[in-house]
Amino acid sequence: MSKYDFNELRGIVERLRKECPWDREQSNDSIKAATIEEAYEVVHAIDEKDWPELKKELGDLLLHVVFHSVIAAEDKHFTLDDVIQSISEKLIRRHPHVFGEVSAEDSETVKKNWEAIKLSEGRKSVTEGIPSSLPSLLRAYRIQEKVAKVGFDWTDIRDVKKKVDEEIDELAEAVHHDDHGKIEEEFGDLLFALTNYARFLKTNPEDALRKANIKFEKRFRYVESRFEEQNKKIYESTLEEMDIYWEEGKRKGL
């Protein structure tokens, strides 16, 4: 049986705010970067399928929810109970197919209803509410998801692929003319088009790129380790030597 429950966690945080010099000094602004970091650590634990680590990281993220709410309560903005009340009301309001009389036979209908309800709540645009602080690749994906839910979308994946090819050609043209401003613009358009293509392939581009980064890093660390075994610095090696160990690591499934 658990020793602590949610209310006891709240009490611990409230006590820390009174008795710990560091906790007492914090504000919503001062801990916001750490909140983002904790969210990414949750994602990392999920990627690694590390369930004990995920339990720990979810605890850290939950701490931030409580911490932010306790600080807000001290400043007379809102309480943790207000947070719980607000999200409960929103979940019920946005799931009329569960808590009301609306019918929704599949997840696509649920998503369309969700966007319609948000607009009825006073939002002026379907893209409103997408945080500007999101990584740009993920934000592009979310923008495309949002507008697709109201019908602004391609109907054939072949046309999406043609758009990618078109953007590659336009980038090549900008490179040919050595126009840096145009290169940046066309490169952005290409990334946006590739993000759309990923969406049609049922792939989250942020997840895909993150996993590609992890794979690259593991392989490169393998290359470094092979040089270390020979007491040789990697910057003293040639590209050809590095490629040999890179392919070796690839064969090992790294």
Question: 23 pLDDT exceeds 70?
Answer: yes
Close Cβ partners of 142 (under 8 Å, ≥ 6 residues apart): 130, 134
Yes or no: say if 208 and 137 are a contact pair by the CB < 8 Å rule: no
Tens-place pLDDT, residues 122-162? 777 888 888 888 889 999 999 999 899 888 999 999 999 99
Share of the chain above pLDDT 70, in %: 99
Mean of the per-residue pLDDT values of the chain: 92
Q: Please tell me if the domain spanning 6-91 has the same topology as the one spanning 136-203.
A: yes
Tens-place pLDDT, residues 190-218? 999 999 999 999 999 999 999 999 999 99
Share of the chain above pLDDT 90, in %: 74
Take residue 174 and report the two structure tokens written for it.
């900008």
Q: Where are the domains of the chain?
A: 6-91, 136-203, 207-251
Question: 245 pLDDT exceeds 90?
Answer: yes
* Structural Rg of the chain based on CA atoms: 24
Residue positions counted in the chain: 254
Q: Is the model's pTM score more than 0.75? A: no
pLDDT of residue 111: 78
Q: What are the angstrom distances between the C-alpha of 58 and each of 10, 21, 85?
A: 16, 25, 21
Take residue 74 and report the two structure tokens written for it.
């001290």
Superfamily, domain 6-91: MazG-like (1.10.287.1080)
Question: 173 pLDDT exceeds 90?
Answer: yes
Q: What are the angstrom distances between the C-alpha of 64 and each of 38, 61, 230?
A: 8, 5, 46
Q: Please name the residue ranges forming H helices in the chain.
A: 6-19, 21-25, 28-47, 51-74, 80-93, 96-99, 107-120, 136-148, 157-176, 180-200, 205-229, 239-251
Confidence of residue 243 (pLDDT cuts 50, 70, 90): very high
**Among candidates 79, 72, 59, which has minimal Cα distance to 31?**
72
Question: 1 pLDDT exceeds 80?
Answer: no
Yes or no: say if 234 and 224 are a contact pair by the CB < 8 Å rule: yes
> What is the DSSP secondary-structure string of 112-126?
HHHHHHHHHTT-S-T
8-state DSSP, 100: S
Tens-place pLDDT, residues 73-131? 999 999 999 999 999 999 999 898 889 888 888 887 887 787 778 777 877 788 888 88
Give long-range contacts, CB 8 A cutoff, 24+ apart: 89-96: 93/117, 93/121, 94/118
pLDDT of residue 122: 75
The CATH code for residues 136-203 is: 1.10.287.1080
**Residue with the two structure tokens 């634990």:** 45
pLDDT of residue 125: 85
